[in-house]
Structure 1
Amino acid sequence: MKPKQYPQQPAHLWEHFYQITQIPRPSKAEAAIKQYVIGQAEASGAAWEEDAEGNLVVRVPASAGRDHQSPVIIQNHLDMVTVKTDDKDHNFNTDALDLEVVDGWLKADRTTLGADNGVGCAAALAVMTDTSVSRPPLELLFTVDEETGLGGALNLDASLLSGKRMLNLDTEDWNELYVGCAGGGGWTFTRDFQAVSPGDEQFWKLSLKGLAGGHSGIQIHEQLGNAIKLLAQLMLDLGGARLLSLDAGIAHNVIPREGSAVIALPVGAESQLRERVETLTQQWLGFLPEADHALSLTAEPDEQTAGLSREDTLTVLGLLAAFPHGVQSYNLKQPADLPDISINLAVCRVQAGALFLESSFRFFNYDQSLPLQQSVMGLAAAFDLHVEPEAGYPGWQPDFESALLAKGVALHENLFGYTPEIKAIHAGLECGILKSKKPDCDILSFGPTIRGAHSPTERLEIATVTPFWEYLKAMLATL
């Protein structure tokens, strides 16, 4: 059921977005949402085609009198990040999202909203179903598996596309036009340790919750707390702790917002534990950004189980302390908010002596990232880790001479009376991959304002959707 105050205009866009939020669409499980898109295409008289990877191209006929014009590609991804709070009962494989309107923002109840990139998908469908829109021939490209490594774009059959101008609708700040994006890569690390039987100790479960988390690209410069780093600091600070298990982080592109660890301490160490939990909590709140001030750190008695030896515990905690996380260098032209290179320590699991780590890094210039990669590989060698590289993807080098950018800036000035900001984004838009597959394609990216992407606080600013829609329509009317 639509929430009270659910937006009504633009009607086609908001109706498509509502339907999209009612269809489960985790990465690698996009069959249902594809069927919705196909159904809309067939009802509109548009042809569609699917490649071997599952990416979908919908060919929308031009408006009357515009058949002779060159086709324009509109590109979005179908999948969404699936994150919820612990107290929310929700199955992303089967359940519709519970929507709310709060203070001018559309959000979901304690889950990700999927406005990244569902609102772009809704706009693309609205261009097709709203017969009042003037448009050239369109190729609506809906990719799959974007959020877990850009797999759809990486394996796209680009021969399905003939357009040489592309509008990507997957950026998250209205009044900004994007002409570049970061590339990226990553690794998983594993090592097996000998599990040690419990001794004459007391066992405690440490639980860290309430951090903001968020997107490991566009929010990495905000210095948000990393649950893995903070838990490791606490365990090292305790002295004498033995690590039995650790579980923190959910995906390579999400800053870890919560985690838990089970530790063994010498009998009688409870007062020290309580004191360090309280002291460190206050220390963290003294420097973490306001978004992290719901931080909660607790220690509760737990059952005994096998875990790491004290020596192996120090090895693992030393690795976590030494592992880089955050911005490594800033762009010289936009040093306040645009990193050139960053890394996210994303996932850590320790269970029955087995260690698993996952990390990802981002860059504009791949060569500039090589020293960071070397330092990580040096750590892996020093700590005897087995390394598996994850599939990387290219960046999209900014093109400030783009004809499409010039048209977009002039149109924005004519419609709204001021010049939009021109930016590059420290995130892995599919534009970089698509540009590598279609080098002659001129690309521009824009979208309405989204905050908290990849976290349960994700929200869409309703007031930015109408101007975004008017701008998209005006672009299509003039291309």
Structure 2
Amino acid sequence: MKPENYPAEPAHVWEHFYQFTQTPRPSKKEQAVRQYVLDQAEQGGHSWKMDAEGNVVVSVAASPGREDRPTVIIQNHLDMVTVKTSDKAHDFDTDPLTLQVEEGWLSADRTTLGADNGLGAAAALAVMTDPSVEHPPLELLFTVDEETGLGGALNLDASLLSGTVMLNLDTEDWNELYIGCAGGGGWQFARSFSNDAVANGEGWALTLRGLAGGHSGVQIHEQLGNAIKLAAEYLREVPGLRLAMIDIGVAHNVIPREGNISFVCPPGQEALLQERLQTCVARWNSYLPAVDHGIEATLAPAAIDSALDEVDTLQLLDLVSAWPHGAQSYSLAQPADLVDLSINLAILRLGDGELFLESSYRFFNEEQSVPLQQAVLALARAFDLEVTPDVGYPGWQPDFESPLLVQGIALHEKLFDVTPEVKAIHAGLECGILKGKKPDVDILSFGPTIRGAHSPSERLDIATVTPFWQYLKALLADI
């Protein structure tokens, strides 16, 4: 149900986005939202093609008099990150989002909003359904499975595309034009430990909540708290500790914000455990950013039948302590908040003695990532971890001589009397992959302002949607 104050204009954009929020679309489960796109195309008499991966290209004929213009690809992904707070009952496979408008921002009630990249996809559909938009021949490309490793773009059948100009609508800062993005890769790690019966000792359940979490690319420089690293820091000094269960993290591209751990320690330690917990929270609040100051760490008694022994527990905590996380280097050419190289310690699970860990890294220059990769794989060997590499993806190298960029800057200045910032982004846009598949394509990326992507605090700045739409329409008319 729409909130009473849900935005009304631009009507086509907001209506399509509302339908996206009411249609479940987790990664690899985009069937329903893809059908919505196809229904919209067929209602307008537009042809479409779908490749074996499930990516869709809708062909839209040029407005009268613009048939001889170059074909423009408008590219977005259909899936969304599915993260919620622990107190929110929500099934992303079946439930619509509950929207709310507060102080000029659109968000969802304790879940991700999916404005990344649903607002861009809605704008692409609006171009198709709004008869007032003048445009050249269009190919609306909707990819799948972007958020779990850019699988849709990696497996795209590029023969479906003929355009030589591409507009990607998947960046999150209005008044900025993007001409480059990071590449990336990652790994999954596993190891089996002996899980021994607990003959004596007290069981405890540790819960961490209230960290902000966020996007492991565009927010990695914000030094947000990582629930995995903080939990290990607390547990590292508990005497006689034996770990039983760990469940922290949701996806490779999300900074982990909350989790649960159960452990056993010698009887009579409650006062020490509680005191140490208060000390750690005070320490964390002394250096974590303000958005993380809502951190809550609680202990409760727990019945535990089996756990790792003390030696294996210490080894696991040493592993987490040694694991790199965060920005590793910054760009020498761009502003100080542009990270060149980073790594995210994303997921840690332990159950019945089985360990699973996932970590991902991002780069602009892949050669720069080699020492980091070597360091991680050295840790894996030292701690006897089985390694499964994730599929990597290339970066999009900035082209400051791009004719589309020159045109885009001039148009932005004309419309808004503001010179847009030209940037690269430390996130894995699909542009790098698509540029590799179609080297002749000239690409520009832009979008409205979104904050907190990949976290339950994701929100869309409503005031930036109208100028974003005006700019998209004017650029299509100008090409």
TM-score, structure 1 normalization: 0.99
How far does residue 178 in structure 1 lie from its aligned partner after superposition? 0.2
Q: Which residue of structure 2 aligns with residue 40 of structure 1? A: 40
1:415, 1:343 → 2: CA distance?
39
Change in CA separation of 1:134 and 1:335 when aligned onto 2, cut-off 3 Å: closer
Q: Does 1:349 align with 2:349?
A: yes
Q: Deviations over 1:5-33 (max 9, x none)?
A: 11000011001111111100000011110
1:237, distance to aligned residue in structure 2 (A):
2.1
Paired positions, count: 479
In the alignment, which residue of structure 2 is the partner of 1:461?
Answer: 461
* C-alpha distance in 2 between matches for 1:101 and 1:237: 44
In structure 2, the gaps of 5 or more residues are none
Cα distance in 2 for partners of 1:147, 1:59 equals 25
Q: Which amino acid aligns with 1:357?
A: L
Please say if 1:428 is aligned against 2:433: no
Aligned to 2:402: 402
SS of residue matched to 1:432? helix
Aligned-partner Cα distance in 2 for 1:255–1:40: 35
* 2:416 corresponding residue in structure 1: 416
CA distance in 2, matches of 1:335, 1:245: 42
Kindly provide the amino acid, as one letter, of the partner of residue 111 in structure 1.
Answer: T
> Residue type of the partner of 2:192?
D
What residue number does 1:185 align with? 185
2-side partners of 1:109 and 1:187: how far apart? Answer: 32
Separation (CA, whole Å) in 1 of partners of 2:125 and 2:383:
50
Query: What SS is found at the alignment partner of 2:20?
Result: helix
Query: Percent identity between the aligned chains?
Result: 67
Deviates more, 1:302-311 or 1:132-141: 302-311
Aligned to 2:72: 72
User: How far off its partner does 1:46 sit?
Assistant: 0.9
Letter in 1 for 2:8: Q
After superposition, where does 1:73-152 map in structure 2 within 5 Å?
73-152=73-152
After the TM superposition, which residues 326-345 of structure 1 pair with which residues of structure 2 at under 5 Å, given as runs? 326-345=326-345
SS in structure 2 opposite 1:367?
Answer: helix
Give the 5 Å matches for 1:370-385. Answer: 370-385=370-385
Alignment correspondent of 1:390: 390
| Paired residues for 1:125-274 under 5 Å | 125-274=125-274
How large is the RMSD of aligned CA atoms in angstroms?
0.6
**Alpha-carbon distance in 2 for matches of 1:347, 1:121:** 29
Task: Give 1:31's aligned residue.
Answer: 31
Query: Which deviations, in whole Å up to 9, do the C-alpha atoms of 1:366-386 show, x marking residues without a partner?
Result: 000000000001000000100
Matches within 5 A, 1:285-324: 285-324=285-324
Runs of 4+ in 1 over 4 A off after TM superposition: none
- State the distance in 1 between where 2:21 and 2:78 align: 11
Q: In structure 2, what is the equivalent of residue 363 of structure 1? A: 363
The alpha-carbon deviation at position 4 of structure 1 amounts to 1.6
**2-structure distance, mates of 1:239, 1:392:** 41
Deviation at 1:157, TM superposition (A): 0.3
Alignment deviations for residues 243-302 of structure 1 (CA, whole Å, 9 cap, x no partner) = 111110000000000011101111111111010001101110110000101100011000
CA–CA distance in structure 1, aligned partners of residues 52 and 361 of structure 2: 28
| Deviation readout 1:196-245 (Å, 9 max, x if unpaired) | 11021011000000000000000000000000000000000223211111
SS in 1 for 2:453: coil
> Which residue is equivalent to 1:448?
448
Unaligned runs of 5+ in 1: none
Q: Which amino acid aligns with 1:40?
A: Q
CA displacement 1:425-469 (0-9 Å, x = unmatched): 000000000001011110000000000000000000000000000
Kindly state the Cα deviation for residue 335 of structure 1 after the two structures are TM-superposed.
4.8
Q: Deviations over 1:43-101 (max 9, x none)?
A: 11111000010000000011011112221000000000001111111111111110000
CA–CA separation in structure 2 for the residues paired with 1:334 and 1:230 = 31
Mapped partners of 1:450, 1:77: distance in 2: 16
Q: Which amino acid aligns with 1:116?
A: D
Q: Hey, what's the Cα distance between the residues in 2 that align with 1:171 and 1:48?
A: 25
Provide the rounded CA distance (Å) in 2 between the counterparts of 1:356 and 1:103: 41
Tell me how far apart the structure 2 counterparts of residues 439 and 367 of structure 1 sit (CA, whole Å).
Answer: 21
Counterparts of 1:92 and 1:167 in 2: how far apart (Å)? 29
Output the TM-score relative to the length of structure 2: 0.99
- Name the SS of the counterpart of 2:197 in structure 1: coil
Which residue of the partner structure matches residue 4 of structure 1? 4
Does the residue aligned with 1:120 lie in a helix, a strand or coil? helix
Q: Aligned AA for 2:240?
A: G
Is 1:475 aligned with 2:478?
no
Bigger mean CA offset, 253-262 vs 230-239: 230-239
| Distance (whole Å) between structure 1 residues aligned to residue 176 and residue 237 of structure 2 | 44
Q: Distance in 2 between matches of 1:4 and 1:216?
A: 34
Amino acid corresponding to residue 282 of structure 1 in structure 2: A
Amino acid at match of 2:86: D
